[in-house]
Chains A and B, each alone.
Chain A
Protein backbone atom coordinates (compact mmCIF):
# COMPACT_ATOMS: atom_id res chain seq x y z
CA UNK A 1 0.00 0.00 0.00
CA UNK A 2 1.08 3.56 -0.66
CA UNK A 3 0.03 4.48 2.85
CA UNK A 4 2.64 2.27 4.49
CA UNK A 5 5.43 4.40 3.18
CA UNK A 6 4.11 7.43 5.02
CA UNK A 7 3.64 5.89 8.42
CA UNK A 8 7.19 6.43 9.62
CA UNK A 9 7.59 10.06 8.53
CA UNK A 10 4.06 10.81 9.73
CA UNK A 11 4.71 9.38 13.19
CA UNK A 12 7.95 11.30 13.40
CA UNK A 13 6.36 14.57 12.31
CA UNK A 14 3.35 14.19 14.59
CA UNK A 15 5.45 13.62 17.68
CA UNK A 16 7.84 16.42 16.78
CA UNK A 17 5.02 18.89 16.25
CA UNK A 18 3.28 17.94 19.47
CA UNK A 19 6.46 18.14 21.49
CA UNK A 20 7.16 21.64 20.19
CA UNK A 21 3.68 23.09 20.03
CA UNK A 22 2.23 21.95 23.30
CA UNK A 23 4.79 23.52 25.62
CA UNK A 24 4.97 26.57 23.38
CA UNK A 25 1.28 27.12 23.54
CA UNK A 26 1.18 26.65 27.28
CA UNK A 27 4.06 29.01 27.96
CA UNK A 28 2.57 31.69 25.71
CA UNK A 29 5.02 31.00 22.87
CA UNK A 30 8.04 31.85 25.00
CA UNK A 31 10.52 29.93 22.91
CA UNK A 32 13.72 31.25 24.42
CA UNK A 33 12.81 30.95 28.04
CA UNK A 34 10.81 27.82 28.20
CA UNK A 35 10.37 25.88 24.98
CA UNK A 36 14.03 25.55 24.05
CA UNK A 37 15.16 24.45 27.52
CA UNK A 38 12.27 22.01 27.62
CA UNK A 39 13.26 20.58 24.28
CA UNK A 40 16.87 20.25 25.39
CA UNK A 41 15.86 18.21 28.44
CA UNK A 42 13.49 16.15 26.36
CA UNK A 43 16.13 15.39 23.76
CA UNK A 44 18.67 14.53 26.45
CA UNK A 45 16.37 11.91 27.91
CA UNK A 46 15.63 10.56 24.45
CA UNK A 47 19.35 10.22 23.77
CA UNK A 48 19.92 8.36 27.04
CA UNK A 49 17.01 6.02 26.53
CA UNK A 50 18.02 5.44 22.93
CA UNK A 51 21.33 4.10 24.23
CA UNK A 52 19.51 1.55 26.38
CA UNK A 53 17.17 0.72 23.54
CA UNK A 54 20.22 0.05 21.35
CA UNK A 55 21.48 -2.34 24.01
CA UNK A 56 18.16 -4.17 23.92
CA UNK A 57 18.36 -4.29 20.15
CA UNK A 58 21.65 -6.18 20.38
CA UNK A 59 20.10 -8.64 22.80
CA UNK A 60 16.66 -9.13 21.33
CA UNK A 61 16.74 -7.68 17.82
CA UNK A 62 19.88 -9.57 16.95
CA UNK A 63 20.74 -12.37 19.34
CA UNK A 64 17.13 -13.19 20.12
CA UNK A 65 17.84 -13.31 23.84
CA UNK A 66 14.76 -12.42 25.82
CA UNK A 67 15.77 -9.95 28.53
CA UNK A 68 12.80 -8.88 30.57
CA UNK A 69 14.87 -7.35 33.32
CA UNK A 70 16.35 -4.32 31.64
CA UNK A 71 15.66 -2.49 34.88
CA UNK A 72 18.41 -4.54 36.54
CA UNK A 73 21.06 -3.38 34.08
CA UNK A 74 19.76 0.16 33.93
CA UNK A 75 19.89 0.32 37.71
CA UNK A 76 23.27 -1.33 38.13
CA UNK A 77 24.68 1.08 35.56
CA UNK A 78 23.23 4.14 37.23
CA UNK A 79 24.22 3.15 40.76
CA UNK A 80 27.71 2.08 39.75
CA UNK A 81 28.30 5.40 38.04
CA UNK A 82 27.00 7.24 41.11
CA UNK A 83 29.26 5.34 43.47
CA UNK A 84 32.26 5.93 41.28
CA UNK A 85 31.75 9.66 40.98
CA UNK A 86 30.48 10.63 44.43
CA UNK A 87 32.88 11.28 47.29
CA UNK A 88 32.58 9.00 50.32
CA UNK A 89 29.61 9.68 52.61
CA UNK A 90 30.20 12.73 54.79
CA UNK A 91 27.88 11.75 57.62
CA UNK A 92 27.78 7.96 57.62
CA UNK A 93 25.13 7.89 60.32
CA UNK A 94 22.57 9.54 58.03
CA UNK A 95 23.71 8.68 54.55
CA UNK A 96 25.56 5.47 53.94
CA UNK A 97 26.74 3.78 50.80
CA UNK A 98 29.70 1.75 49.68
CA UNK A 99 32.47 3.17 47.59
CA UNK A 100 32.46 6.85 46.92
CA UNK A 101 35.61 6.93 44.81
CA UNK A 102 34.97 10.28 43.16
CA UNK A 103 37.69 12.17 44.94
CA UNK A 104 40.27 9.46 44.32
CA UNK A 105 39.80 9.20 40.58
CA UNK A 106 41.29 12.55 39.71
CA UNK A 107 44.75 11.59 38.55
CA UNK A 108 45.58 14.47 36.23
CA UNK A 109 44.64 17.64 38.11
CA UNK A 110 46.43 19.98 35.70
CA UNK A 111 44.01 19.03 32.89
CA UNK A 112 40.98 19.83 35.05
CA UNK A 113 40.49 16.14 34.98
CA UNK A 114 38.12 16.29 37.93
CA UNK A 115 35.60 17.60 35.41
CA UNK A 116 35.67 14.56 33.19
CA UNK A 117 37.93 11.73 34.28
CA UNK A 118 35.80 10.33 37.13
CA UNK A 119 32.84 10.27 34.77
CA UNK A 120 34.69 8.30 32.15
CA UNK A 121 35.79 5.86 34.81
CA UNK A 122 32.28 5.72 36.25
CA UNK A 123 30.81 4.94 32.85
CA UNK A 124 33.42 2.30 32.17
CA UNK A 125 32.76 0.76 35.58
CA UNK A 126 29.02 0.77 34.89
CA UNK A 127 29.58 -1.07 31.62
CA UNK A 128 31.88 -3.59 33.28
CA UNK A 129 29.52 -4.23 36.18
CA UNK A 130 26.60 -4.82 33.83
CA UNK A 131 28.76 -7.06 31.67
CA UNK A 132 29.74 -9.13 34.69
CA UNK A 133 26.14 -9.38 35.83
CA UNK A 134 25.04 -10.49 32.37
CA UNK A 135 27.84 -13.01 32.19
CA UNK A 136 26.92 -14.53 35.53
CA UNK A 137 23.26 -14.74 34.49
CA UNK A 138 24.15 -16.32 31.19
CA UNK A 139 25.94 -19.29 32.72
CA UNK A 140 22.88 -21.05 34.11
CA UNK A 141 20.26 -19.68 31.72
CA UNK A 142 21.50 -19.32 28.17
CA UNK A 143 21.93 -23.06 27.69
CA UNK A 144 18.27 -23.52 28.48
CA UNK A 145 15.22 -22.52 26.51
CA UNK A 146 14.77 -18.83 25.96
CA UNK A 147 11.85 -18.35 28.35
CA UNK A 148 14.05 -19.29 31.29
CA UNK A 149 16.16 -16.24 30.73
CA UNK A 150 13.05 -14.06 30.63
CA UNK A 151 11.93 -15.37 33.98
CA UNK A 152 15.35 -15.12 35.56
CA UNK A 153 15.86 -11.55 34.38
CA UNK A 154 12.47 -10.49 35.72
CA UNK A 155 13.46 -12.01 39.03
CA UNK A 156 16.90 -10.49 39.14
CA UNK A 157 15.61 -6.99 38.44
CA UNK A 158 13.13 -7.20 41.29
CA UNK A 159 15.71 -8.79 43.56
CA UNK A 160 18.32 -6.11 42.96
CA UNK A 161 15.78 -3.37 43.50
CA UNK A 162 14.75 -4.85 46.80
CA UNK A 163 18.32 -5.38 47.88
CA UNK A 164 19.05 -1.72 47.18
CA UNK A 165 16.10 -0.78 49.39
CA UNK A 166 16.65 -3.18 52.24
CA UNK A 167 20.41 -3.31 52.51
CA UNK A 168 21.08 -0.15 54.48
CA UNK A 169 24.79 0.38 54.02
CA UNK A 170 24.86 -0.48 50.34
CA UNK A 171 23.30 2.37 48.39
CA UNK A 172 21.44 4.30 51.03
CA UNK A 173 18.19 2.31 50.95
CA UNK A 174 14.99 3.75 49.58
CA UNK A 175 16.18 7.34 49.64
CA UNK A 176 18.79 6.57 47.04
CA UNK A 177 21.87 8.59 46.19
CA UNK A 178 21.71 12.32 45.64
CA UNK A 179 24.27 14.91 44.77
CA UNK A 180 25.88 12.92 41.98
CA UNK A 181 28.45 15.22 40.34
CA UNK A 182 28.06 16.21 36.72
CA UNK A 183 30.69 16.36 34.01
CA UNK A 184 32.07 19.84 33.18
CA UNK A 185 29.57 21.32 35.56
CA UNK A 186 31.96 23.94 36.96
CA UNK A 187 32.75 25.38 33.56
CA UNK A 188 29.28 26.57 32.69
CA UNK A 189 26.49 28.73 33.91
CA UNK A 190 23.95 26.49 35.68
CA UNK A 191 21.21 27.83 33.43
CA UNK A 192 23.06 26.73 30.31
CA UNK A 193 24.22 23.43 31.65
CA UNK A 194 21.34 21.46 30.24
CA UNK A 195 22.46 22.35 26.74
CA UNK A 196 25.96 21.21 27.55
CA UNK A 197 24.66 17.99 28.90
CA UNK A 198 22.49 17.50 25.85
CA UNK A 199 25.69 17.70 23.82
CA UNK A 200 27.33 15.12 26.05
CA UNK A 201 24.38 12.73 25.87
CA UNK A 202 24.19 13.14 22.13
CA UNK A 203 27.90 12.42 21.86
CA UNK A 204 27.54 9.26 23.91
CA UNK A 205 24.60 8.16 21.79
CA UNK A 206 26.57 8.80 18.60
CA UNK A 207 29.54 6.78 19.84
CA UNK A 208 27.38 3.91 21.04
CA UNK A 209 25.39 3.94 17.82
CA UNK A 210 28.52 3.77 15.70
CA UNK A 211 30.01 1.03 17.86
CA UNK A 212 26.85 -1.05 17.73
CA UNK A 213 26.19 -0.49 14.05
CA UNK A 214 29.76 -1.31 13.12
CA UNK A 215 29.95 -4.29 15.45
CA UNK A 216 26.60 -5.74 14.50
CA UNK A 217 26.58 -5.28 10.76
CA UNK A 218 29.47 -7.64 10.35
CA UNK A 219 30.12 -11.37 10.33
CA UNK A 220 29.79 -11.20 14.12
CA UNK A 221 26.28 -9.81 13.86
CA UNK A 222 25.53 -12.39 11.19
CA UNK A 223 26.20 -15.16 13.68
CA UNK A 224 23.96 -13.40 16.19
CA UNK A 225 21.12 -13.08 13.72
CA UNK A 226 21.59 -16.71 12.75
CA UNK A 227 21.22 -17.61 16.42
CA UNK A 228 18.00 -15.70 16.58
CA UNK A 229 16.72 -17.53 13.51
CA UNK A 230 17.72 -21.08 14.38
CA UNK A 231 20.20 -22.30 16.94
CA UNK A 232 20.53 -25.78 15.50
CA UNK A 233 21.43 -24.52 12.04
CA UNK A 234 23.93 -22.16 13.59
CA UNK A 235 25.49 -25.06 15.45
CA UNK A 236 25.49 -27.12 12.26
CA UNK A 237 27.35 -24.23 10.65
CA UNK A 238 30.12 -24.73 13.17
CA UNK A 239 29.38 -21.87 15.53
CA UNK A 240 29.65 -22.17 19.27
CA UNK A 241 26.09 -21.27 20.13
CA UNK A 242 26.61 -20.66 23.81
CA UNK A 243 29.67 -18.46 23.33
CA UNK A 244 28.02 -16.19 20.79
CA UNK A 245 24.81 -15.95 22.77
CA UNK A 246 26.78 -14.90 25.80
CA UNK A 247 28.68 -12.33 23.77
CA UNK A 248 25.49 -10.79 22.46
CA UNK A 249 23.88 -10.73 25.88
CA UNK A 250 26.93 -9.27 27.62
CA UNK A 251 27.57 -6.67 24.94
CA UNK A 252 23.95 -5.50 25.09
CA UNK A 253 24.08 -5.35 28.88
CA UNK A 254 27.24 -3.25 28.81
CA UNK A 255 25.54 -0.75 26.56
CA UNK A 256 22.60 -0.60 28.94
CA UNK A 257 25.09 0.10 31.73
CA UNK A 258 26.54 3.00 29.77
CA UNK A 259 23.02 4.35 29.33
CA UNK A 260 22.39 4.00 33.05
CA UNK A 261 25.53 5.94 33.91
CA UNK A 262 24.65 8.81 31.60
CA UNK A 263 21.20 8.83 33.18
CA UNK A 264 22.69 9.11 36.69
CA UNK A 265 24.88 12.08 35.74
CA UNK A 266 21.95 13.83 34.15
CA UNK A 267 19.51 13.39 37.02
CA UNK A 268 22.09 14.00 39.74
CA UNK A 269 20.28 11.48 41.87
CA UNK A 270 19.11 7.88 41.65
CA UNK A 271 16.62 6.05 43.78
CA UNK A 272 15.06 2.59 43.66
CA UNK A 273 11.61 3.77 42.64
CA UNK A 274 12.89 4.81 39.21
CA UNK A 275 13.83 1.25 38.39
CA UNK A 276 10.48 -0.47 38.53
CA UNK A 277 9.55 -3.02 35.93
CA UNK A 278 6.98 -0.84 34.36
CA UNK A 279 9.11 2.18 33.84
CA UNK A 280 12.55 0.72 33.45
CA UNK A 281 11.86 -2.44 31.48
CA UNK A 282 8.60 -2.15 29.69
CA UNK A 283 9.23 1.25 28.19
CA UNK A 284 12.41 0.08 26.45
CA UNK A 285 10.59 -2.85 24.98
CA UNK A 286 7.95 -0.43 23.77
CA UNK A 287 10.66 1.70 22.17
CA UNK A 288 12.33 -1.19 20.39
CA UNK A 289 9.13 -2.78 19.15
CA UNK A 290 7.77 0.54 17.98
CA UNK A 291 10.96 1.62 16.25
CA UNK A 292 11.78 -1.70 14.64
CA UNK A 293 13.48 -4.59 16.34
CA UNK A 294 16.68 -5.51 14.55
CA UNK A 295 17.34 -2.03 13.22
CA UNK A 296 19.60 0.34 15.14
CA UNK A 297 18.05 3.41 13.59
CA UNK A 298 14.70 1.99 14.58
CA UNK A 299 15.82 1.62 18.18
CA UNK A 300 16.72 5.32 18.27
CA UNK A 301 13.57 6.39 16.48
CA UNK A 302 11.48 4.27 18.82
CA UNK A 303 13.03 5.96 21.83
CA UNK A 304 12.11 9.32 20.33
CA UNK A 305 8.52 8.41 19.52
CA UNK A 306 7.70 6.60 22.74
CA UNK A 307 9.32 9.15 25.01
CA UNK A 308 7.62 11.89 22.98
CA UNK A 309 4.22 10.32 23.58
CA UNK A 310 5.07 9.88 27.25
CA UNK A 311 5.95 13.55 27.63
CA UNK A 312 3.01 14.80 25.58
CA UNK A 313 0.64 12.97 27.86
CA UNK A 314 2.15 14.83 30.82
CA UNK A 315 1.77 18.13 29.01
CA UNK A 316 -1.93 17.41 28.76
CA UNK A 317 -2.12 18.00 32.49
CA UNK A 318 -1.47 21.67 31.87
CA UNK A 319 -4.75 22.02 30.02
CA UNK A 320 -8.21 22.41 31.38
CA UNK A 321 -9.16 18.77 31.42
CA UNK A 322 -12.35 17.48 32.95
CA UNK A 323 -11.69 16.16 36.41
CA UNK A 324 -12.38 12.51 35.64
CA UNK A 325 -9.70 12.58 32.95
CA UNK A 326 -7.23 14.59 34.95
CA UNK A 327 -7.18 12.17 37.85
CA UNK A 328 -6.75 9.22 35.57
CA UNK A 329 -4.26 10.58 33.10
CA UNK A 330 -1.41 8.38 34.28
CA UNK A 331 -3.42 5.24 33.86
CA UNK A 332 -4.72 6.37 30.52
CA UNK A 333 -1.17 6.94 29.45
CA UNK A 334 -0.15 3.40 30.39
CA UNK A 335 -3.20 2.08 28.64
CA UNK A 336 -2.52 4.00 25.45
CA UNK A 337 1.08 2.87 25.35
CA UNK A 338 0.03 -0.75 25.78
CA UNK A 339 -2.61 -0.42 23.10
CA UNK A 340 -0.08 1.15 20.74
CA UNK A 341 2.33 -1.73 21.19
CA UNK A 342 -0.39 -4.23 20.45
CA UNK A 343 -1.36 -2.22 17.40
CA UNK A 344 2.22 -2.21 16.16
CA UNK A 345 2.60 -5.93 16.75
CA UNK A 346 -0.60 -6.67 14.87
CA UNK A 347 -0.44 -4.18 12.05
CA UNK A 348 3.25 -3.64 11.51
CA UNK A 349 5.25 -6.26 13.38
CA UNK A 350 8.50 -5.14 11.77
CA UNK A 351 8.15 -1.72 13.44
CA UNK A 352 8.50 1.73 11.94
CA UNK A 353 11.89 0.95 10.44
CA UNK A 354 12.19 -2.72 9.42
CA UNK A 355 15.51 -4.45 9.81
CA UNK A 356 18.03 -4.39 7.01
CA UNK A 357 17.87 -7.25 4.61
CA UNK A 358 21.57 -8.06 4.75
CA UNK A 359 23.46 -8.14 7.98
CA UNK A 360 26.98 -7.51 6.80
CA UNK A 361 27.71 -4.00 5.63
CA UNK A 362 30.61 -5.40 3.65
CA UNK A 363 28.34 -7.74 1.76
CA UNK A 364 26.07 -4.84 1.00
CA UNK A 365 28.98 -2.94 -0.50
CA UNK A 366 29.98 -5.99 -2.51
CA UNK A 367 26.53 -6.30 -3.97
CA UNK A 368 26.43 -2.67 -4.95
CA UNK A 369 29.84 -2.79 -6.56
CA UNK A 370 29.17 -6.01 -8.47
CA UNK A 371 25.91 -4.74 -9.78
CA UNK A 372 27.68 -1.80 -11.28
CA UNK A 373 30.61 -3.72 -12.75
CA UNK A 374 28.99 -6.87 -13.95
CA UNK A 375 25.29 -7.25 -14.56
CA UNK A 376 24.62 -10.75 -13.35
CA UNK A 377 22.23 -12.77 -15.53
CA UNK A 378 19.38 -12.46 -13.12
CA UNK A 379 15.81 -13.43 -13.58
CA UNK A 380 14.50 -11.31 -10.80
CA UNK A 381 15.71 -8.02 -9.50
CA UNK A 382 16.55 -8.41 -5.81
CA UNK A 383 13.80 -6.61 -4.01
CA UNK A 384 14.35 -4.32 -1.09
CA UNK A 385 13.40 -5.29 2.43
CA UNK A 386 10.25 -3.22 2.14
CA UNK A 387 7.04 -4.94 3.15
CA UNK A 388 5.10 -6.54 0.35
CA UNK A 389 2.33 -4.35 -0.95
Chain B
Protein backbone atom coordinates (compact mmCIF):
# COMPACT_ATOMS: atom_id res chain seq x y z
CA UNK B 1 0.00 0.00 0.00
CA UNK B 2 2.55 2.53 1.10
CA UNK B 3 5.12 1.19 -1.36
CA UNK B 4 2.86 2.35 -4.19
CA UNK B 5 2.48 5.85 -2.85
CA UNK B 6 3.93 8.66 -4.90
CA UNK B 7 3.83 12.26 -3.71
CA UNK B 8 1.17 14.22 -5.59
CA UNK B 9 2.19 17.19 -7.75
CA UNK B 10 0.81 19.51 -5.08
CA UNK B 11 2.96 17.84 -2.42
CA UNK B 12 6.04 18.07 -4.62
CA UNK B 13 5.37 21.73 -5.15
CA UNK B 14 4.92 22.15 -1.42
CA UNK B 15 8.25 20.48 -0.71
CA UNK B 16 9.91 22.90 -3.09
CA UNK B 17 8.30 25.81 -1.29
CA UNK B 18 9.43 24.45 2.07
CA UNK B 19 12.95 23.97 0.75
CA UNK B 20 12.89 27.51 -0.60
CA UNK B 21 11.70 28.86 2.76
CA UNK B 22 14.50 26.97 4.51
CA UNK B 23 17.06 28.33 2.07
CA UNK B 24 15.76 31.84 2.61
CA UNK B 25 16.03 31.47 6.39
CA UNK B 26 19.59 30.18 6.06
CA UNK B 27 20.49 33.10 3.80
CA UNK B 28 18.95 35.62 6.18
CA UNK B 29 20.86 34.08 9.06
CA UNK B 30 24.15 34.12 7.17
CA UNK B 31 23.77 37.73 6.11
CA UNK B 32 22.84 38.85 9.61
CA UNK B 33 25.87 37.01 10.99
CA UNK B 34 28.21 38.53 8.40
CA UNK B 35 26.99 42.03 9.11
CA UNK B 36 27.34 41.69 12.88
CA UNK B 37 30.71 39.90 12.86
CA UNK B 38 32.07 42.13 10.10
CA UNK B 39 30.95 45.24 11.97
CA UNK B 40 32.61 44.18 15.18
CA UNK B 41 35.82 43.17 13.38
CA UNK B 42 35.95 46.49 11.54
CA UNK B 43 35.38 48.47 14.74
CA UNK B 44 38.26 46.70 16.46
CA UNK B 45 40.74 46.61 13.56
CA UNK B 46 40.20 50.26 12.67
CA UNK B 47 40.51 51.55 16.23
CA UNK B 48 43.55 53.81 16.87
CA UNK B 49 45.05 51.59 19.59
CA UNK B 50 44.81 48.35 17.62
CA UNK B 51 48.50 48.09 16.53
CA UNK B 52 49.69 48.41 20.13
CA UNK B 53 47.12 45.92 21.40
CA UNK B 54 48.11 43.50 18.68
CA UNK B 55 51.76 43.70 19.65
CA UNK B 56 51.14 42.99 23.35
CA UNK B 57 48.26 40.50 23.12
CA UNK B 58 48.40 38.87 19.70
CA UNK B 59 52.07 38.38 18.96
CA UNK B 60 52.69 35.21 16.99
CA UNK B 61 56.32 34.91 18.11
CA UNK B 62 55.41 34.92 21.78
CA UNK B 63 52.45 32.63 21.14
CA UNK B 64 54.81 30.04 19.64
CA UNK B 65 57.43 30.50 22.32
CA UNK B 66 55.03 30.04 25.23
CA UNK B 67 53.02 27.25 23.65
CA UNK B 68 54.91 24.11 24.82
CA UNK B 69 54.91 25.18 28.48
CA UNK B 70 51.23 26.15 28.31
CA UNK B 71 50.34 22.78 26.80
CA UNK B 72 52.06 21.07 29.71
CA UNK B 73 50.28 23.33 32.18
CA UNK B 74 46.92 22.88 30.50
CA UNK B 75 47.24 19.14 30.89
CA UNK B 76 47.09 19.74 34.65
CA UNK B 77 43.82 21.66 34.25
CA UNK B 78 42.38 18.88 32.11
CA UNK B 79 43.47 16.19 34.54
CA UNK B 80 42.00 18.07 37.46
CA UNK B 81 38.70 18.53 35.63
CA UNK B 82 38.50 14.90 34.54
CA UNK B 83 39.14 13.68 38.07
CA UNK B 84 36.86 16.18 39.80
CA UNK B 85 33.82 16.06 37.50
CA UNK B 86 32.67 12.44 38.02
CA UNK B 87 33.19 12.74 41.77
CA UNK B 88 31.17 15.98 41.80
CA UNK B 89 28.31 14.38 39.89
CA UNK B 90 28.07 11.41 42.22
CA UNK B 91 28.49 13.49 45.36
CA UNK B 92 26.04 16.15 44.17
CA UNK B 93 23.37 13.61 43.32
CA UNK B 94 23.90 11.85 46.65
CA UNK B 95 23.48 15.11 48.55
CA UNK B 96 20.35 16.00 46.56
CA UNK B 97 18.81 12.57 47.18
CA UNK B 98 19.70 12.80 50.87
CA UNK B 99 17.94 16.15 51.01
CA UNK B 100 14.77 14.83 49.42
CA UNK B 101 14.61 11.62 51.44
CA UNK B 102 11.77 11.26 53.95
CA UNK B 103 13.11 8.33 55.92
CA UNK B 104 13.40 9.14 59.66
CA UNK B 105 16.73 7.33 59.85
CA UNK B 106 18.17 9.71 57.30
CA UNK B 107 17.19 12.87 59.19
CA UNK B 108 20.74 13.57 60.43
CA UNK B 109 22.04 13.09 56.90
CA UNK B 110 19.45 15.53 55.61
CA UNK B 111 20.46 18.14 58.15
CA UNK B 112 24.09 17.63 57.25
CA UNK B 113 23.31 17.99 53.54
CA UNK B 114 21.47 21.28 54.16
CA UNK B 115 24.29 22.71 56.27
CA UNK B 116 26.87 21.55 53.74
CA UNK B 117 25.21 23.21 50.74
CA UNK B 118 24.48 26.41 52.66
CA UNK B 119 27.96 26.84 54.09
CA UNK B 120 29.98 25.72 51.09
CA UNK B 121 28.05 27.84 48.62
CA UNK B 122 28.64 30.81 50.86
CA UNK B 123 32.45 30.57 50.64
CA UNK B 124 34.22 31.92 47.54
CA UNK B 125 35.82 29.07 45.61
CA UNK B 126 39.19 30.81 45.62
CA UNK B 127 39.08 30.90 49.42
CA UNK B 128 38.28 27.19 49.55
CA UNK B 129 41.27 26.52 47.35
CA UNK B 130 43.49 28.49 49.73
CA UNK B 131 42.06 26.81 52.81
CA UNK B 132 42.45 23.31 51.45
CA UNK B 133 45.78 23.68 49.64
CA UNK B 134 47.55 25.50 52.49
CA UNK B 135 45.62 24.26 55.52
CA UNK B 136 45.03 20.58 54.95
CA UNK B 137 48.66 19.48 54.48
CA UNK B 138 49.42 21.18 57.83
CA UNK B 139 47.06 18.74 59.54
CA UNK B 140 49.38 15.96 58.49
CA UNK B 141 46.50 13.54 58.03
CA UNK B 142 47.85 10.02 57.85
CA UNK B 143 47.40 8.18 54.58
CA UNK B 144 46.36 11.23 52.54
CA UNK B 145 48.65 12.84 50.01
CA UNK B 146 49.76 16.34 50.98
CA UNK B 147 50.41 17.72 47.49
CA UNK B 148 48.86 21.01 46.47
CA UNK B 149 47.30 19.35 43.39
CA UNK B 150 45.40 16.84 45.51
CA UNK B 151 44.02 19.41 47.94
CA UNK B 152 43.18 21.96 45.28
CA UNK B 153 41.16 19.26 43.50
CA UNK B 154 39.42 18.45 46.75
CA UNK B 155 38.53 22.14 47.16
CA UNK B 156 36.94 22.22 43.71
CA UNK B 157 35.03 19.01 44.42
CA UNK B 158 33.71 20.41 47.69
CA UNK B 159 32.67 23.70 46.16
CA UNK B 160 31.03 22.35 43.02
CA UNK B 161 29.28 19.39 44.60
CA UNK B 162 27.25 21.89 46.63
CA UNK B 163 26.14 23.73 43.49
CA UNK B 164 25.48 20.56 41.54
CA UNK B 165 23.47 19.15 44.46
CA UNK B 166 21.15 22.16 44.30
CA UNK B 167 20.75 21.73 40.56
CA UNK B 168 19.81 18.09 41.02
CA UNK B 169 17.45 18.96 43.85
CA UNK B 170 15.56 21.54 41.81
CA UNK B 171 15.31 18.94 39.05
CA UNK B 172 13.88 16.38 41.46
CA UNK B 173 11.37 18.89 42.78
CA UNK B 174 10.27 19.92 39.31
CA UNK B 175 9.01 16.41 38.53
CA UNK B 176 5.22 16.56 38.68
CA UNK B 177 3.62 15.10 41.84
CA UNK B 178 1.48 12.82 39.67
CA UNK B 179 4.68 10.91 38.89
CA UNK B 180 5.22 10.21 42.59
CA UNK B 181 1.58 9.22 42.86
CA UNK B 182 1.64 6.71 40.05
CA UNK B 183 4.92 5.26 41.30
CA UNK B 184 3.39 4.87 44.76
CA UNK B 185 0.28 3.34 43.24
CA UNK B 186 2.50 0.68 41.69
CA UNK B 187 3.68 -0.01 45.26
CA UNK B 188 7.21 1.19 44.62
CA UNK B 189 9.03 2.32 47.73
CA UNK B 190 10.09 5.95 47.96
CA UNK B 191 13.65 4.94 47.21
CA UNK B 192 12.59 2.90 44.19
CA UNK B 193 10.40 5.73 42.96
CA UNK B 194 13.37 8.07 43.23
CA UNK B 195 15.72 5.63 41.58
CA UNK B 196 13.52 4.48 38.68
CA UNK B 197 10.98 7.25 38.10
CA UNK B 198 11.89 10.63 39.53
CA UNK B 199 15.67 10.88 39.26
CA UNK B 200 15.82 9.75 35.59
CA UNK B 201 13.35 12.48 34.64
CA UNK B 202 15.08 15.02 36.85
CA UNK B 203 18.51 14.29 35.37
CA UNK B 204 17.24 14.82 31.84
CA UNK B 205 15.75 18.11 32.81
CA UNK B 206 18.88 19.46 34.50
CA UNK B 207 21.36 18.66 31.74
CA UNK B 208 21.60 22.30 30.59
CA UNK B 209 22.21 23.82 34.05
CA UNK B 210 24.65 20.97 34.82
CA UNK B 211 26.56 21.78 31.69
CA UNK B 212 26.71 25.34 32.86
CA UNK B 213 28.41 24.16 36.04
CA UNK B 214 30.78 21.90 34.07
CA UNK B 215 31.97 24.79 31.97
CA UNK B 216 32.34 26.91 35.05
CA UNK B 217 34.39 24.16 36.69
CA UNK B 218 36.65 23.83 33.67
CA UNK B 219 37.48 27.50 33.97
CA UNK B 220 37.80 27.44 37.74
CA UNK B 221 40.59 24.87 37.49
CA UNK B 222 42.63 27.99 36.68
CA UNK B 223 42.09 29.18 40.26
CA UNK B 224 44.74 26.69 41.37
CA UNK B 225 47.34 28.97 39.76
CA UNK B 226 46.97 31.03 42.92
CA UNK B 227 48.45 28.24 45.05
CA UNK B 228 51.50 27.94 42.79
CA UNK B 229 50.47 24.90 40.83
CA UNK B 230 52.00 25.02 37.36
CA UNK B 231 48.72 24.97 35.46
CA UNK B 232 48.17 26.79 32.17
CA UNK B 233 47.42 30.15 33.77
CA UNK B 234 50.39 30.03 36.14
CA UNK B 235 52.67 29.12 33.26
CA UNK B 236 51.31 31.97 31.16
CA UNK B 237 51.74 34.46 33.99
CA UNK B 238 55.28 33.24 34.47
CA UNK B 239 56.07 33.78 30.80
CA UNK B 240 54.30 37.14 30.66
CA UNK B 241 56.23 38.47 33.64
CA UNK B 242 59.58 37.55 32.12
CA UNK B 243 58.89 38.77 28.60
CA UNK B 244 56.57 41.73 29.18
CA UNK B 245 54.06 40.34 26.70
CA UNK B 246 50.52 39.20 27.39
CA UNK B 247 50.04 36.93 24.39
CA UNK B 248 50.24 33.75 26.52
CA UNK B 249 47.06 34.81 28.33
CA UNK B 250 45.21 34.87 25.02
CA UNK B 251 46.67 31.48 24.17
CA UNK B 252 45.37 30.08 27.47
CA UNK B 253 41.94 31.60 26.82
CA UNK B 254 41.87 29.85 23.44
CA UNK B 255 42.68 26.55 25.13
CA UNK B 256 39.81 26.93 27.57
CA UNK B 257 37.37 27.87 24.81
CA UNK B 258 38.53 24.93 22.73
CA UNK B 259 37.77 22.64 25.64
CA UNK B 260 34.32 24.01 26.53
CA UNK B 261 32.72 24.49 23.12
CA UNK B 262 32.72 20.83 22.03
CA UNK B 263 31.29 19.84 25.41
CA UNK B 264 28.49 22.36 25.04
CA UNK B 265 27.62 21.10 21.55
CA UNK B 266 27.70 17.48 22.72
CA UNK B 267 25.31 18.17 25.57
CA UNK B 268 22.95 20.10 23.27
CA UNK B 269 22.90 17.16 20.88
CA UNK B 270 22.20 14.72 23.70
CA UNK B 271 19.37 16.85 25.07
CA UNK B 272 17.84 17.20 21.61
CA UNK B 273 17.92 13.45 21.10
CA UNK B 274 16.18 12.77 24.38
CA UNK B 275 13.55 15.39 23.59
CA UNK B 276 12.88 13.90 20.16
CA UNK B 277 12.44 10.43 21.58
CA UNK B 278 10.25 11.30 24.53
CA UNK B 279 8.30 14.37 23.58
CA UNK B 280 7.11 13.29 20.12
CA UNK B 281 3.35 13.35 19.96
CA UNK B 282 3.02 14.33 23.60
CA UNK B 283 0.04 16.60 23.03
Q: Do A and B come from one complex?
A: no
Residues of B within 8 A of A (CB): none
Residues of A within 8 A of B (CB): none
